Amino acid sequence: MRIADRVKQVDVSGIREAFELARKMKDPVNLSIGQPDFDVPSEVKEAAIRAIRDGHNRYTLTQGIDELKAEIRRRLEGEKGYSPEEVMVTSGAAGGIALAFLVLLNPGDRVLIPDPYFVIYKHLCRLVHAEPVCVDTYPDFLVTPRRLERAMGKGAALVVLNTPNNPTGRILRGDTLREIADMAAGAGAQILSDEVYDFFAYDSPHESMGAVSGDALVVGGFSKSFGMPGWRVGYAAGPGQVLAEMAKIQQYSFICAPAPLQHGVVRAYRLQMSATLDAYRRKRDLVCKGLAERYRFVCPEGAFYLFPEAPGGSGTEFARAAVEKNLIIVPGSVFSERDTHFRLSFAAPDETLRRGVEILNEMA
């Protein structure tokens, strides 16, 4: 069977391997899952069901329904002070990132990716024949203009930011955002800011790169904030020229995000979700306090992950040992060029988190 060379450069996701492992184990303590432990709010489900019954089951415009685009813009302007030239609805935030890579990158282009990173970035580079340049941010996981500038070298076409970050929970703010924007502009590099975890900012409101850089492309979504990862609805916001090209490619790939679910998300924007944020702040504190005496880590400011150092030095070996204790975590090598850490998700019921903390402390 003939298989394209580009596919051979892409590994199976280590996160998906953890999903498969969980499916085969009996009642595991699963701290690998990167999705909320709460369900879609009932009002939002009813809105989507009503949309199906009302006949909203055909293609929408490629860019998405006007009602949802208006809500996205309203939220970006009202909460983040960001007034993008254009907004479009994508098939999940991941769909928006894939479209952005197709539109912004030529073969051989260099892409700066702070390490640790979400797994999709490096592999999308390979699919479009761009060169991923991983920018080491250990041990504090801070993405700084100086670290990016050192890696710029022969230049770069794209700088990928993820704030809050998966897997470290780090958030970019204020002067750092502005300095990175200035550095990228001076180097002629586009910024792609993945802000899909923006709802989960625990210590102060999230700040968007779009608010300080009119040229940045911001990608976000609803999977995390409204418990709907299976709905596959996200958005992209930024320069009109870039969004027009992304919409053109979406016509020949995703076509549009699921029509009735777009109507459901419109309803989601009217909900007050502060109690959910408070609950996840408590989950973060539960895990951080529970592991503080035996593990070294940076307490996450956002998202719902912890990225501790692995006892013994190997994240892969430690994750394998955890399976023997009926605990599933993800080796840090899935998210990094190093294999010194592991990722756990605290998007789980409190009792599961307590069991996980107990097992990890026993292992340490």
Phi-psi region of 280 (alpha: psi -120 to 50; beta: other; left: phi over 0): alpha
pLDDT at 11 over 90: no
- Cross-strand pairs, 331: 342
- Please give the structure tokens belonging to residue 80: 């983040």
Quote the pLDDT of residue 319. 94
pLDDT at 22 over 70: no
- Inter-CA distances, 116 with 136, 142, 161, 207, 278, Å: 7, 10, 11, 20, 26
pLDDT at 7 over 90: no
Quote the pLDDT of residue 4. 74
pTM of the model: 0.93
Phi-psi region of 267 (alpha: psi -120 to 50; beta: other; left: phi over 0): alpha
pLDDT at 192 over 80: yes
| Amino acid identity for residue 145 in this structure | P
Query: Average pLDDT of 187-195?
Result: 97
Quote the pLDDT of residue 18. 59
Quote the pLDDT of residue 20. 66
Place of tokens 């801070």: 142
Q: Are strands 217-221 and 234-238 parallel, antiparallel or unpaired?
A: antiparallel
Contacts of 289 (CB under 8 A, 6+ apart): none
Phi-psi region of 219 (alpha: psi -120 to 50; beta: other; left: phi over 0): beta
Supply φ then ψ for residue 133, to 5 degrees: -115, 105
Mean pLDDT over all residues of the chain? Answer: 93
- Confidence category of residue 2, pLDDT binned at 50, 70, 90: confident
| Distance separating alpha carbons of residues 263 and 252, to the nearest angstrom | 23
Tens of pLDDT, residue by residue over 291-311, are 999 999 999 999 999 999 999
Tally the C-alpha atoms within 13 A of residue 294's C-alpha that lie toward its C-beta.
14
| Distance separating alpha carbons of residues 92 and 61, to the nearest angstrom | 16
